[in-house]
Amino acid sequence: MNDYLQSIIDRDPAARSKLSVILTYPGVKAVFFHRIANFFATAKFDLIARIISQFSRFLTGIEIHPRAKIGKNLFIDHGMGVVIGETSDIGDNVTIYHMVTLGGISPSINSNDQREIKRHPTLHDNVVVGSGAQILGPVVVGKNARIGANAVVTKNVPENAVMVGIPAKNVGTATEEFKPYAVTNGSEEKEY
């Protein structure tokens, strides 16, 4: 838990203390309730898992399906409107901003044929997903990729790619460590 809270402080300049992160960050609460819901879903107590998930959604505005797989140190910043679908698989140290959807593209017809089939995205380690981005279908987003705000991703994303637009296109390579909110060490400031 200590490492998880520190990982958020390291990525969010607004985070002042671990206590404030625990008490005031909806993403932390959503991940906490997801761990409980996932336990019940894995034990095949699906109704209890869904009730916990819906309670968490009510409290946080973040919907994470109980069967979604989440690695360590997921940071959902702000979080309102985030939806993470049932077969989503999220790696370690991923950052997701508000209004992001990790969704499916299958129509609701023939639902029985779609059960137990991968329908949602896989995000590998250190991925950053900007506000309002939609990652749809069983696509794979490679390590260290950056998905720009409001991008719509429907195809696999290579490692270190920078994806923007609708539909999302690779416009470069993420070569440096992610800097949330464009925070710098001050040496990169320019006068205008």
Nearest to 129 by CA among 72, 75, 172: 75
For residue 190, tell me if it sits in a domain: no
How far apart, in whole angstroms, are the C-alpha atoms of residue 163 and residue 38? 30
pLDDT of residue 183: 46
Predicted confidence at residue 177, as pLDDT, reads 67
Q: Is residue 164 part of a domain?
A: yes
What is the average per-residue pLDDT within 174-192? 55
Would residue 185 count as lying in a domain? no
- CATH number of the domain within which 136 lies: 2.160.10.10
181 domain residue, yes or no: no
150 assigned to some structural domain: yes
Provide the 3-class DSSP secondary structure of residue 34: helix
Domain of 63?
2-106+116-176
Query: b/e map of 81-117 (b: 16 or more CB within 10 Å)?
Result: ebbbbbbbbbbebbbbbbbbbbbbeeeeeeeeebeee
Residue 37 lies in a domain: yes
Residue 158 lies in a domain: yes
User: What is the model's pLDDT at position 178?
Assistant: 61
Token duo for residue 91: 């790696």
Specify if 182 maps to a domain: no
| Whole-angstrom distance, CA of residue 152 vs CA of residue 47 | 32
Q: Kindly report, residue by residue over 18-77, the tens digit of the pLDDT.
A: 999 999 999 999 999 999 999 999 999 999 999 999 999 999 999 999 999 999 999 999
How many structural domains compose the chain?
1
